[in-house]
Structure 1
Amino acid sequence: MKNFLLLESGATKLSWVLASSTTVLCQGEVSGLHPFLSGAEEWQQNLQAIGDQLRDYSPVREVFYYGTGCSQDEGQVLVRKYFAAFSPSLPSPLVATDLLAAARALCQQEAGIVGILGTGSNAARYDGTKIADQRGGFGYVLGDEASGANLGKILLQAFLQEQLPEYIQKDLQETHQLSKGAIISTVYQTANPSRYLAQFAPALKRWLPESSSLQEKVAAEFGQFTDLYLLPLIAETDHNEVAFTGSIAVQFRPYLEEALRRRGLAIKAIITPPLPALVTYHQTLLY
């Protein structure tokens, strides 16, 4: 039986599946990996944890790794380097961006416009085989409009600037042990600050009904995402629908829908997680 290992990683979590042409054999999750933001120790721990669960199965014939930070050659080279160092028994992975994973999961063999709204954000035009054009993927410092990291940052900025009602400030202090020093030290001294920021997106959603200021900022984020990432891609096609994956697309769907509606666009589909559909793609086309 020809088994293949499929890994799909965002900044927060990495999901993996061992499958054959017809069956999912085993699967799991570890913390997200990034070729530039995750250190060698984290790569080693996660790859070894996955490898430990593969020992009872026949040899893996192919490995497909889709991940954030892998749109450029430098990131792809680093991923293959980590696999060679910490999983030498596995074949060298075929490495591609998480955008291609989203496109294959959402569209299979059909052309379309796809967006990722998770810890980070980006979008692409997919021709049914490959990514024909893309926008975003600049990270939380230079971009990531409407991402979990940016939305979490909105809440933390309001907290630091004491712009929230007192009862919200108090709840955040008590529930998340927030303080000025804790926030600043974590954001500026940890290896993966986008993951830290994104964990506050659910709290932002919780408190949105209590703050018109937060609502305006969130609406502006989704407007910027649509203007900067989607409209340039839509202009090259006759599509007016966009398919999405990612937890933020689910949690903040009303804001996403409204941003699209104002620009004459609509949601085609939202799937999360993308991995089951991605497994189907590989089973259908490659085996």
Structure 2
Amino acid sequence: MILFADSGSTKCDWVLTKENGEIIHKTQTQGINPFLLSDDTIIDIIKNADVIPQKSKLISEIHFYGAGCGQIDCQKKIDQVLRSIFENVKSITIEEDIIGAVKATTTKPGIVCILGTGTNCCFFDGKKVIQKFPALGYLLADEGSGNYLGKKIIKDYFLGKMPSDIALLFKNDYASEIDQLLDKLYTANHPNKYLASYVQFIFRNRGNTYIESVLHQGISDFIDTYLFHYKKELSQHPIHFVGSVAYYSQDIIKTLLDNQGYRVKSFVKKPIDQVVSHITTQKISQ
């Protein structure tokens, strides 16, 4: 059997297949980011991943694509954890989530972006992935991401910059005392996930003038910070987006990029099915 995983910091999608690609089981767990989680925590997450642990002895091959897996030390960490659980595994491939995003969207040259809990971007030349800058994470970067947008509306609410109509809705949905919010934020095991959880409020209230302005600014920040490093490539190749923030903001993304003469080709909310199809097709053709 072959096990596939596509993980952001918030969620990890798992697919178990037969050697021929026939899907046996799908499930979802909390996200696995080796920068943020201990070995023991990752092991606990996987061991509670539905029926997957029950099939552990039958799994011979694993493909893991995840946030935080661009560094060699983090790849080794995930590799060791997986081998401790799946005793008979013969082959493990561990790569950064942006590689999985490429496999999920295109086999031809294009710019591929992740816009979910966090953000990332690359150019795929048809053979290899080229990144002109590193993913710096939620403390230093992630413009336009779920945690970036969540931080924005929290600040606006408590600093009195949020219009009264939407502020009332926010107060009804969330704890309105700052000490309660700060306690949750600074005691959370994964503050980026906590901040990103507020993006649900944004998408529930699409159409509100303030909400639309927050989204427009966040997407503009993403474009300015990430995409414009690839201006030459943008003039020649299409753009692909992966992630829930991109999926639910695609009207804004298309408008902003169309206005600049750039072509958006696809939006993929959850890339795991396309990743499985891509790798299975490659294996069959070899």
Closer, same or farther: CA 116–134 of 1 in aligned 2, 3 Å: farther
- In 2: Cα distance, 1:153 partner to 1:33 partner: 22
1:67 alignment partner in structure 2? 66
Q: Distance in 1 between matches of 2:34 and 2:3?
A: 19
Change (3 A) 1:228 1:168: closer
Q: 1:125 aligns with which of 116, 123, 126?
A: 123
SS in 1 for 2:48: helix
CA deviation string 1:161-211 (max 9, x = no partner)? 122233433332332234211222222232211111111112123345334
SS for the counterpart of 1:50 is coil
Q: Which residue does 1:277 correspond to in 2?
A: 274
Shift of 1:238: 4.8
Deviations 1:28-84 (A, max 9, x none): 110101001123343122111237435358721211110000111122122113223
For 1:86 and 1:61, the matched residues in 2 are separated by 12
Deviates more, 1:119-128 or 1:97-106: 119-128
Partner of 2:117, secondary structure, is: coil
Alpha-carbon offset, residue 16 of structure 1: 0.8
Q: Where does structure 1 lack aligned partners over 5 or more consecutive residues? A: none
**CA offset at residue 160 of structure 1?**
1.4
Map of 1:25 onto structure 2: 24
Aligned partner of 1:268: which letter? K
Aligned 8 A contact 1:100 1:130 in 2: no
Distance 1:192 1:134 in 2: 27
Q: What is the CA–CA distance in structure 1 between the aligned matches of 2:89 and 2:158, rounded to whole Å?
A: 47
User: TM-score of the superposition, structure 2-length normalised?
Assistant: 0.90
2:252 matched to 1:263? no
Q: Deviations over 1:66-122 (max 9, x none)?
A: 000011112212211322344445446311000000001100x32211111110111
Distance 2:235 2:256 in 1: 19
Structure 2, unaligned stretches of length 5 or more?
A: none
The match for 1:233 is 230
Contact 2:98/2:114, CA 8 A, preserved across alignment: yes
1:112-142 CA-partner distances (Å, limit 9, x unpaired): 1111111011111112333122545211211
Quickly say closer, same or farther: Cα 1:237–1:222, change in 2 above 3 A: closer
State whether residues 116 and 145 of structure 2, in contact with CA within 8 Å, keep that contact through their aligned partners in structure 1: yes
Task: Kindly provide the amino acid, as one letter, of the partner of residue 203 in structure 2.
Answer: K
- Partner residue in 1 for 2:148: 150
How far, CA to CA, are the matches of 2:171 and 2:161 in structure 1? 14
Contact map agreement 1:80 1:92 (CA 8 A) in 2? no
Question: Is the CA contact (8 Å cut-off) linking 2:15 and 2:25 kept in structure 1?
Answer: yes
Instruction: Determine if the alignment matches structure 1 residue 216 to structure 2 residue 195.
Output: no
Aligned-pair identity in percent equals 24
Report the more deviating stretch, 39-48 or 165-174: 165-174
Matched to 1:182, the amino acid is Q
Equivalent residues of 2:56, 2:87 under 8 A apart: no
Q: Partner residue of 2:105?
A: 106
Q: Which residue of 1 aligns with 2:204?
A: 206
Over the aligned positions, Cα root-mean-square deviation in angstroms equals: 2.2
